[in-house]
Amino acid sequence: MNDSSLNTVNSMSLNLNDDYLDKKRKKMEISRNNTPSPKEIKKMKFGRLVQAEEDASLQKFIDLNTLPTIKFQDAYKLYLQNLNIELPESDKLFPWLHEYEKNDQDLNLDDLLEFKQNHTMILKSCYLLHDDISGESYIENSGVLKGSINLKILFHQLEDGDSMDTLIKTLTEEINFYNREMFQLGLPKNFIQDGDVIESIFDACKVNNILPILKTKQLNPNSLSYYNSASKHIDPGSYRKFDFQCCKMLLLSSRALIYCNHKDVLECSICKGARHLVNLVYHNTISKLKIFGDIADITRFKETFLKVSIVDEFVNKVDDKFVGIPLLPTDALRKPEHQLVSKFDTYIINNWEKDFLYRERLEMSRISSNTPMNDNLWIGNSIDFEVSHMGLVLRRSFDEANTFHQDNTICLLDKLNPSEVNDIHVFNYPQCLWDLFIHCKPFVGNNEEMFEDKVAIEAKLNDNEKIYFNFPASGTLGLGNLTLHLIKNIFQCIDYIHQITTRLKKRALIFAYDGYSESSFLILAYTIYSKQLNLKEAILYVHKELKRPFFVFPNDLEVLNYLQILLLSKAKERIMFEENTTQLIYERFEITNVDFTNMFFNTSIVPNIKSDLDCMMNLKGPLPSQILDYLYLGSLKHAESFNLLKDMDITCVVSVGERLTILEGKEPESCKVEKGNNRKVVIYKIDGITIYHIDKLLDNGHDPLLESLYEILGFIESFRKSNNNAKILIHCMVGVSRSATVVIAEVMKELKISLVRAYLYVRVRRLNIIIQPTLLFMYELLKFEEKLHEISDVPIKGIQEDCKRSIDWVTLCSSIDELNEYYLNPTN
Ligand SMILES: [Zn+2]
């Protein structure tokens, strides 16, 4: 901060001169109905001040010159306490956590006092990127205590265009407001007026690029104020404001702990500034929002004030239970030879509180890793490709490489040892060596070709060289850009794959980045051609026989629906051809203009072509997502497609709040009313399918789910007991919020894993559809985790011994927000 700007802050914050104090007193007098007696005036002037000074607990709070610190091990105890406090019932915190306008005053402190007194915010004040003395550079996301968030998550960001003047102006306003409030409370020692203190607050803001305004409300860009009294407008988007939860919980904390990785945290001016900053915004916010009533009520104030301390001696502890990720030099990012996992990655894998995106990718690589389509053709993802090219398989015998994790999930993974980094624990290894790689990816420009000319391919085949094809990614082909040239190429590629794998017995891998969406067009087209199945049969074949997760876009279905005509007619020719010769012949079929035209007009070869397409185009995916062997998650449209359900052997449908139209006028098997919430649970049996319908459960941010959850899971359990190998579809409208919540709970219960693990487990398996349970549902799931942990006879993976929960609300929400942010703003 330069000298002139600092002067501005000082002069503005120090306007509490005698004139001001006189006016303030006058205002207090005028606000009374009767003229006060001289005695009363005296009381008004000094009453609060005297009372406050007598109070020992306030005394500590008042003295800003002593820097309270807390021992590292005591801070750890507070972290554990966060995981052990009873979470308030959801109706005590909602809709407040959903951020409705003007509902702050509705919050009842008495209901939340016990929680508040036991809840601590743990905040990292800044990063240590480079140590000037040792010359060491550190990884930004390392040096993290468990249950902690970065300071900047709490605050509105300084926008790119904002100058330092904006920060100075806002800071001055906030400090003035704060000092006036402290004056009113009779706590003059508590004023922020020391130049060093103001400068340290400024620095803490500048380093983190933040304004000293909590992110509790949408910021009004014109006035930089956030306490406007807008209409009581309820925005459904507010049900998923994961980014606001940290501020909400700061207001519900009685302590904040600040730390960083600098050698001597007590001398660190950023930590010092952060301490004052947190204190400042906390009091300004509860005062402006009046969330615990009037701050001038001194007894209330004592109950609610925040104690901010600095954690001592956290510099470079490694194997401590309180350390999420130790401070690691950039060296730790280096991957050992023939490995994809670095030491840093191992630490990330072990810390289930953060970096959900990395975990999501690992999980994705596991569910879509290489599986055989026939003896020589495999389907996989880019990790399979990378691992096979790193010579991993060559370096090890096939026995050792047989680390194909049958559980196919990292959600059951135990803690890895970072000093023995080895990605054999993390990835599925390729199950064989491939000669041909077909990469499905978005094509860049019009000139990109799928493969080299036939002479080059032939030469490579003869020399046993590896061959690479490219194929346009699913979703990028539309009826509009289908040309005869493109159709010829698609067909040629499919036929090459078939010839090379079945007649030359070379091994091939079809792969795409995620392993389930970009390759699905080719996989379905190839299945149609090689197995002589129509499109619908091919979809069911890939799901039921190959057991592959896949996602097909509507335009893929549209193109495949016509392309199958060509593929099926050429498949017939191929079989006749193969009976007569053993020779390998490229371009054995000519694709003519007539073939091209027939695709669109000679639809007699595939009956029901139109109705199949119409049905599937409406179903995103088009199949419901398989989450466990017996459990599917889908939409209302999936649930209403009875033929599809039968094809998939699904015999039970759980309708969470949405009613199937087929139930109209049908007699139920049974009907009962849930106690407490007055919800009806009605069971029907129609056409061999059992439908469990639960009413009055809307995705409106109000309707709680927890009580019904136990009922639903109980029903699933008893249905499975009485029906061997039963497959069950859980659905709501879209299959992202209500039903996803039920499915997450079922996965927690079935696999005995914590909420975060189950959330990611389900999220990845919903493929291209992003599950988004509301804040209320996530909160209820955290309560459910507590209950599950309490009643389960085996330990729940992810919950630390002697803790009630695996994670606290603050960390959970900030990590989910970080993950969502990636999909909303992928460039960041
Ligand atoms: Zn610091």
Per-residue pLDDT tens digits for 32-66: 333 434 444 344 333 343 344 445 555 545 454 45
With a CB cutoff of 8 Å and minimum separation 6, the contacts of 256 are: 120, 121, 122, 123, 250, 278, 282, 306, 307, 308, 309
Where in the chain are the domains? 3-228+250-311, 350-617, 625-824
Is a pLDDT exceeding 50 seen at residue 584?
A: yes
Kindly give the distance from the C-alpha atom of residue 206 to the centroid of ligand 1, in angstroms, as a whole number: 14
How many angstroms separate the CA atoms of 820 and 539, rounded? 30
Quote the tokens at residue 677: 């919430």
CA of 265 to the centre of ligand 1 (A): 5
Q: What is the distance in A from the centroid of ligand 1 to the CA of 203?
A: 11
Q: Is the pLDDT of residue 104 over 70?
A: yes
379-382 LR contacts (CB < 8 Å, sep 24+):
379/509, 379/510, 379/511, 379/515, 379/519, 379/523, 379/546, 379/548, 380/430, 380/509, 380/510, 380/511, 380/515, 381/511, 381/512, 381/513, 381/514, 381/515, 381/516, 382/511, 382/512, 382/513, 382/515
Region for 124 from its dihedrals, namely left if φ exceeds 0, alpha if ψ lies in -120 to 50, beta otherwise: beta
Check if the beta carbon of residue 696 is closer than 8 Å to that of residue 703: yes
- What pLDDT band is residue 593 in, cutting at 50, 70 and 90? confident
Give the CATH fold of the 625-824 domain.
Protein-Tyrosine Phosphatase; Chain A (3.90.190)
pLDDT at 225: 46
For ligand 1, the distance from its centroid to the CA atom of residue 4, given in whole angstroms, is: 26
Query: Rounded to an integer, what distance in angstroms lies between the CA atom of residue 102 and that of residue 681?
Result: 35
* Distance, CA of 534 to CA of 753 (rounded, Å): 40
Alpha helix positions (H), 324-413: 343-350, 356-367, 382-389, 392-395
CA of 275 to the centre of ligand 1 (A): 10
Q: How many angstroms separate the alpha carbon of residue 260 from the centre of ligand 1?
A: 4
Mean pLDDT of all residues in 496-504: 89
Q: How confident is the model over 457-478, as a mean pLDDT?
A: 90
Check residue 427 and give its pLDDT.
86
Q: Are strands 727-731 and 210-214 parallel, antiparallel or unpaired?
A: unpaired
Nearest to 265 by CA among 72, 534, 60, 31: 72
Q: How far is the CA of 310 from the centre of ligand 1 (A)?
A: 9
DSSP character for 694? Answer: E
Distance 784 CA to ligand 1 centre (A): 37
Q: One fold for both 350-617 and 625-824?
A: yes
Contacts of 339 (CB under 8 A, 6+ apart): 421, 422, 423
How many C-beta atoms surround the C-beta of residue 794 within 10 A? 6
Inter-residue contact 189 to 147 (CB < 8 Å) = no
CA of 128 to the centre of ligand 1 (A): 9
Looking at residues 277-304, what average pLDDT do you find?
A: 84
- Name which residue leads in pLDDT, 730 or 443: 730
Task: Please report which helix (H) or strand (E) contains residue 813, including its range.
Answer: helix 809-824
Mean pLDDT for 575-595 is 71
CA of 281 to the centre of ligand 1 (A): 19
Please tell me the distance between residue 372's alpha carbon and the centre of ligand 1 in angstroms. 54
* Cα dihedral across residues 314, 319, 324, 326: positive or negative: positive
Choose between 607 and 737: higher pLDDT: 737
Intra-chain end-to-end CA distance of the chain, in Å: 28
Per-residue model confidence as pLDDT tens digits over 305-363: 889 999 987 766 777 889 999 999 999 999 887 788 899 999 999 999 999 999 999 99
CA of 347 relative to ligand 1 center, distance in Å: 23
One-letter amino acid for residue 430 of the chain:
P
Q: What band does 5 get if pLDDT is binned at 50, 70 and 90?
A: very low
Q: What is the band of 596 on the pLDDT scale with cuts at 50, 70, 90?
A: confident
Helix/strand/coil for 488 = helix
The candidate with the shortest Cα–Cα distance to 707, out of 720, 696, 718, is 696
The CA 262 to ligand 1 mean position distance, Å, reads: 6
Mean predicted confidence (pLDDT) in 372-391:
90
Cα 261 to ligand 1 centroid, rounded to whole Å: 6
Give distance in angstroms: CA of 192 to centre of ligand 1: 20
Output the CA 314–ligand 1 centroid distance in Å. 10
Give me the residue label for tokens 């449908």.
653
How much distance in Å is there from the Cα of 273 to the middle of ligand 1? Answer: 9
How far is the centre of ligand 1, averaged over its atoms, from the C-alpha of 126 (Å)? Answer: 6
From the CA of 161, how far away is ligand 1's center (Å)? 27
CA of 433 from ligand 1 middle (Å) equals 52
Distance 419 CA to ligand 1 centre (A): 28
Query: Separation of 196 CA from ligand 1 center, angstroms?
Result: 16
- CATH architecture of the domain covering 350-617: Alpha-Beta Complex (3.90)
CA gap 408, 135 in Å, rounded: 42
- CA distance linking residue 439 with residue 716, whole number of Å: 41
The pLDDT score that the predictor gives to residue 58 is 53
3-state secondary structure of 31: coil
CA of 222 to the centre of ligand 1 (A): 33
In whole angstroms, what is the distance from residue 614 CA to residue 568 CA?
Answer: 20
What is the Cα–Cα distance from 306 to 255, expressed in whole angstroms?
5
| pLDDT value of position 229 | 41
Compute, in degrees rounded to 10, the torsion defined by CA atoms 591, 595, 596, 598. Answer: -170
CA dihedral 675, 677, 678, 679 (to 10 degrees): -100
CA dist., res. 404 & res. 337, Å (int): 21
Residues near 521 by beta carbon (within 8 Å), at least 6 away in sequence: 440, 471, 472, 473, 474, 475, 477, 552, 556, 559, 560
Average pLDDT (148-155) is: 94
DSSP collapsed to 3 states, 764-776: HHCCCCCCCCCHH
pLDDT-based confidence at 616, cuts 50/70/90? Answer: confident
Beta-carbon contacts of residue 719 (< 8 Å; ≥ 6 apart): 652, 690, 692, 726, 728
What distance in angstroms lies between residue 336's CA and the mean position of ligand 1's atoms? Answer: 32
Mean pLDDT (the chain, rounded)? 84
Lowest mean pLDDT among 50-54, 142-146, 413-417, 573-577: 50-54
Q: Is the pLDDT of residue 396 over 70?
A: no
| Residue 155 CA to ligand 1 centre (angstroms) | 18
Tell me the pairing of strands 625-628 and 631-634.
antiparallel
Measured in Å, residue 125 CA sits from the centre of ligand 1 at 6
Question: Considering the entire predicted model, what is its pTM?
Answer: 0.89
List for the chain the helix, strand, coil content (%; round to 5).
50, 15, 40
Distance CA 684, CA 696 (A): 17
Q: What's the pLDDT score for residue 394? A: 61
Tokens found for residue 714: 């109980």
* Residue 272 alpha carbon to ligand 1 centre in Å: 7
Q: Compute the distance from residue 75 Cα to the ligand 1 centre, in Å.
A: 16
Going from the Cα of 127 to the center of ligand 1, the distance in angstroms, rounded, reads 8
pLDDT in tens, 487-499: 999 999 999 999 8
Cβ(507)–Cβ(432) below 8 Å = yes
| DSSP H/E element including 663 | none
